[in-house]
Amino acid sequence: MRKQNVVETEPLLYIVQPKAMRAAAHMQETFMWTSRTQQEEEGNSNDERDGEEEPTEFFAKKEFQAMALDERLAFLAELPGHLPPLKCQFVTQEQSYEGVLKQCTADELVIADERGNETVIGRAALVSVTMIGFVP
């Protein structure tokens, strides 16, 4: 009986809700992974086949603190041009110096401080090199 008394009316507020289209995502479907030892074995066999060996220095990455003194000096002397100079602390038996390594030879080092003054230090007297940071 109740159904007979119901009056059908249109809604007072109608919000249009479009049907959502599912977005098509192009994603990677496969992934292949090989362990480092397998890559090295494959790399070694490829080197033997080609007859050319790639320099191992490119792949060997060490932290600055883990390098030997000669390696640190070679690293500082051969910094890439796109990097700003590295300010370091050079400790000798008598004194310590802060500055940027300008030139490194087998016998001596040339260090420039913040003001641009250059100091020459004997390579034999050098005890340690510590990186301070980039020069602004």
The answer to whether residue 29 is domain-embedded is no
Q: 11-64, pLDDT tens digit by residue?
A: 777 777 777 777 777 787 787 777 777 667 766 655 554 444 444 454 457 787
CATH code of 121's domain: 2.30.30.100
Please state the pTM of the whole predicted model.
Answer: 0.53
Q: 79-91, pLDDT tens digit by residue?
A: 888 888 889 999 9
Q: What is the mean pLDDT of the chain?
A: 78
The answer to whether residue 22 is domain-embedded is no
The answer to whether residue 79 is domain-embedded is yes
Residue-range definition of the domain harbouring residue 107: 56-134
The answer to whether residue 37 is domain-embedded is no
The answer to whether residue 96 is domain-embedded is yes
The answer to whether residue 4 is domain-embedded is no
Q: What is the mean pLDDT of residues 118-125?
A: 90
pLDDT higher than threshold 50 for residue 131: yes
The answer to whether residue 48 is domain-embedded is no
Q: What is the pLDDT of residue 3?
A: 60
91 phi and psi angles, rounded to 5 deg: -105, 125
Q: How many domains does one find in the chain?
A: 1
